Structure 1
Amino acid sequence: MSINSAMLAGVSGLVSNSSALAAISDNIANVNTTAYKRNQVNFANVVTAQAVKGRYSAGGVQAVTRQFVSQQGLIQSANSPTDLGISGDGFFIVTDKGPGLTSADARKFTRSGSFSVDADGYMVNDAKLYLQGWPYASDGTINVNPSDLNLMESINVKNLGAAVAATQNVMINANVNKTQAISAGEATYNAATRSMADWAVNQNPATGTQPDFTLEMNVIDSVGATHKFAVSFLKSDTPPNSWHSEIYAIPATDVTAGPSGQVAAGLTMFTADGAFDLANTTLFGALGAAAELNFAASGAVTTPRWANALGISASSIDLDLAKLTQYASASTVNAVNSDGANVGNVVGVEVSEDGIVSAIFDNSEVRKIAKIGLATFPNPDGLSPVSGNAYRPTIPSGEFVIKEPGVGGAGEIAASTLEASTVDLSAEFTGLITTQKAYSACSKIITTADQMLDELINIKR
């Protein structure tokens, strides 16, 4: 009967508009939820077969929910360096579990990048979902295999231990005075029996030679301890533009080497223009030998080596002497800069655009921890939402592909930013009004159909 179909059509309208109201309510409630994607209920008519010509049977309406997951929210500035926004396509890969992750543990996908560091050092967002990434090995390498999700681990930025970096490079910026007079000690100088290193220990002219100029540099070993080394110069009369030079440890007991901790001795040469002449310098061995110091490990047989009592690893230090000059001005040290770092602890975290998570130590060291991977889907709007503003794959969404940020169409990661909700309050309030009116109109259908049925029933009295 047409009246019955009209009543049922009214009921379907009430149900559909109730769903629309629920979606609008969800959108309004999440207007400030990070990376929330608005939902919308669209309506589709239902057509029934018309059995009798000239008569119409109402089919009603059905609600169809549409997600706008692929819609990019506004990237806004945030205060925390671990707040992460994705500029472009892709989702963070997260789990409900931090340590002990296995292939059986479900992975979820979210764009909610409000991450912080929990008590155990893991990066988790507001829904307590753990961020996944490819970990860096101890040798600084990383295995980025997009086809193997099990290579990714929950990122931990605290349980790293202390950081130490041994000195590998020293830059010396200094000048030795070209007009320096030849000292009396030059005539009796001998690097083996009357060295400048000996003078540094006992200051006795009978056993050592006083240098014309000395500079010092600090070297950090493999366990973070600092050692002092001196570079001394004594003006030579032959050949021209030459200086007797020695490098030695202070104190001498830090190394096992030549007399009084001497690790290198020879001539330092300069060109007629006053520039350092490595090709004719013998301080580091043969003519033109690389300007570097090599220390064997404690307990080794070769020399020079670190003292046995120190128990430390071998060191190789490159000396940059390009700014060592011989000009007609006072001998002076402008700068001695060395790399390396003493023992340091984690004080901060930073994330680069390509997803590299690094720990910052209080000794200025930066250590790479992991690289964030982003998952992309052929149809993000087909994802199924789960609690915590996250999603899981479905057949309509298609299989996910893991990509490095900024590679293969994946978006870039912006640190200290968050993606805003895509909800537009003006549109939602407008929808609230039209939904309310449509609901009222559907209720009128039922009221009118009820009155017509009452008239039909009252035909027979």
Structure 2
Amino acid sequence: MMLGHTTRSLFHVREYAMSSIINAVHTAVSGLNAQSHAFTDLSNNIANSQTTGYKASTTSFEDYVTDNEIANDGESLSDSVAATTQQNTDNQGMVTTSTNSTALAISGNGFFNVLQATGQSNDSTPALGTQQYYTRNGDFSQDKNGYLVNTSGYYLEGYNVNATSGTLGTSLSAIQVPSTIAFRPTESTKLTATGTLDSSSTTSVDMPTTAYDSTGTATKVDLTWTKVNDTTWTVKDATDSSNSATVTFDSTGAVSSVTSQNSTGTSSTSSTSFDYTGSPQDMTVNLSGITLGSANTVSMTSDSVTSGTFSGISMETDGSVMATFDNGYSQLVAKIPLTTFADPNSLSAQNGQAYTATSQSGSPQINAVNTNGAGTLTTGSIEESTTDLTGDLSKLIVAQQAYGANTKVVSTADQLLQTTLAMIQ
């Protein structure tokens, strides 16, 4: 009887011991998996320590309570651990100067709107996908077709200026500044009249020219001269006679005074200038170059610059993309907005420091630069990786020690298991 009782006791001891040992092995294996996960996160951070716009991640550990056999009634024991990757997309990286003049760095919560190429079309321009991506990698350069592309191959989007109307668009599209871009004439602010009026003239004399508005659109301006007497003439807008001036000449035939009356009912007197208020915009007409003579040879020119050759692009801190020309002028070709999210850490990470929106991140909110927390732009600069190289190397050592400790648990459990199995042999 004693022998049977002892055998049963040994059996129960072995059963309990084996359950405990196997449970310890499961716990140690989960620890190995968790530390392996941490290794992956740390190695990814370290590998991307020099990657522009990279956001370093951290590893979070969580214990699990399972239905294990060694738990007492009414109690539960934690016998497992799991690791998850925690994104830190909202961390600000250090902004440093770049040799790339078209690079941009964001200081704030915003992201660049970008697209990814899905292939090449027949004319070698990129075929862009419809999936919307967001990135902090602002190391943009022009490709052979004039598109702004970052080092990860994503195409920058913005509001482009319509080449025909000169107005800024309202929908996002890839920004392209081709070398063939045409110079838009600058806005006319001053018209200059020169030449002579025939003092014996009995008919009106036209003085037409071309003026340009703020979008570079041409408009014909036609001023008509009419003789009043030997020393006085009137000059009027051919399309708006209320926009006029009375010009008095001195004994030498030079202009001595100009009294203007515009379409708004405002009058003014000047020695040489005529206040023009009409299409395409208000301008000053300088009449000092007009004299009385024996023939009608008057002409008029605007101060608009009408020609220029494309020389490059420049980026502005307000998000403006400017085309520069050899005449010293630059013109807006696109405007870059920044997009924000309620929870940027819930964005879905993609290849090349890019992200896509998720239900957890919230809907994208497109903002002008430096509004609604989107942040400011620094030109000729990049945002560095947020990897803390020293800190991650220290964490790597800790993870290595934890991994080694878990392997020791597995090794010890194996020895205990062998001893337990030998108890009743």
Please give the TM-score of this superposition, normalised by the length of structure 1.
0.64
Following superposition, the deviation at residue 155 of structure 1 comes to: 0.2
Cα contact 2:247–2:257 (8 A) shared by 1:
no
Cα contact 1:341–1:364 (8 A) shared by 2:
no
> Matched residues in 2 for 1:315 and 1:385: separation?
50
Listed as ranges, the matches of 1:24-63 within 5 Å are 24-49=42-67, 51=69, 52-53=71-72, 59-63=79-83
CA shift digits 1:405-445 (9 cap, x unpaired): 12222212221111111111110111011011010001001
Match of 1:374 in 2: 338
Q: 2:168 aligns with which of 128, 135, 142?
A: 142
Listed as ranges, the matches of 1:151-170 within 5 Å are 151-158=171-178, 161-165=181-185, 168-170=188-190
Q: 1:383 to 1:57 in 2, by over 3 A?
A: same
Q: 1:220 to 1:14 in 2, by over 3 A?
A: same
Match of 2:27 in 1: 9
Question: What's the C-alpha RMSD, in Å, of the aligned pairs?
Answer: 3.9
CA shift digits 1:147-194 (9 cap, x unpaired): xxxx2110001155321426724499xxxxxxxxxxxxxxxx95347x
Following superposition, the deviation at residue 280 of structure 1 comes to: 7.8
> Matched residues in 1 for 2:21 and 2:372: separation?
58
Question: In structure 2, the residue corresponding to 1:96 is in which secondary structure?
Answer: strand
Q: 1:167 to 1:122 in 2, by over 3 A?
A: closer
Q: 2:154 aligns with which of 110, 125, 129?
A: 129
Unmatched 5+ stretches in structure 1: 145-150, 173-188, 194-218, 224-237, 247-263, 270-274, 282-286, 295-313, 325-336
Counterpart of 1:168 in structure 2: which amino acid? S
Confirm whether residue 406 of structure 1 aligns to residue 424 of structure 2: no
Q: Among the aligned pairs, what percent are the same residue? A: 30
Listed as ranges, the matches of 1:50-199 within 5 Å are 51=69, 52-53=71-72, 59-97=79-117, 105-137=130-162, 138-144=164-170, 151-158=171-178, 161-165=181-185, 168-170=188-190, 191-192=199-200
Q: 1:280 to 1:139 in 2, by over 3 A?
A: closer
Cα contact 1:37–1:71 (8 A) shared by 2:
yes
Listed as ranges, the matches of 1:189-268 within 5 Å are 191-192=199-200, 267=248
> Matched residues in 1 for 2:183 and 2:306: separation?
8
CA shift digits 1:1-37 (9 cap, x unpaired): 1111111111111111111111111111111111110
Following superposition, the deviation at residue 352 of structure 1 comes to: 2.2
> Matched residues in 1 for 2:198 and 2:334: separation?
54
Confirm whether residue 279 of structure 1 aligns to residue 225 of structure 2: no
Using the TM superposition, name which of 350-359 and 31-40 deviates more. 350-359
Confirm whether residue 423 of structure 1 aligns to residue 403 of structure 2: no
Cα contact 2:191–2:286 (8 A) shared by 1:
yes
Counterpart of 1:356 in structure 2: which amino acid? S
CA shift digits 1:54-73 (9 cap, x unpaired): 89855221002101100111
Cα contact 1:342–1:363 (8 A) shared by 2:
no
Following superposition, the deviation at residue 268 of structure 1 comes to: 5.3
Match of 1:148 in 2: none
Counterpart of 2:248 in structure 1: which amino acid? L
Q: 1:396 to 1:266 in 2, by over 3 A?
A: closer
Cα contact 2:158–2:172 (8 A) shared by 1:
yes
Match of 1:435 in 2: 399
Question: In structure 2, the residue corresponding to 1:423 is in which secondary structure?
Answer: coil
Cα contact 1:2–1:56 (8 A) shared by 2:
no
Q: 1:267 to 1:386 in 2, by over 3 A?
A: same
Q: 1:64 to 1:321 in 2, by over 3 A?
A: same
Question: In structure 1, the residue corresponding to 2:114 is in which secondary structure?
Answer: strand
Task: Flag the structure with higher strand content.
Answer: 2
Match of 1:350 in 2: 314
Length, aligned pairs only = 340
CA shift digits 1:281-335 (9 cap, x unpaired): 9xxxxx95862799xxxxxxxxxxxxxxxxxxx999944659x8xxxxxxxxxxx
CA shift digits 1:222-244 (9 cap, x unpaired): 89xxxxxxxxxxxxxx99xx9x9
Cα contact 2:260–2:274 (8 A) shared by 1:
no
> Matched residues in 2 for 1:73 and 1:127: separation?
18
Counterpart of 2:165 in structure 1: which amino acid? D
Counterpart of 2:86 in structure 1: which amino acid? R
Following superposition, the deviation at residue 349 of structure 1 comes to: 1.4
Q: 2:327 aligns with which of 358, 363, 386?
A: 363
Following superposition, the deviation at residue 143 of structure 1 comes to: 4.1
Q: 1:367 to 1:452 in 2, by over 3 A?
A: same
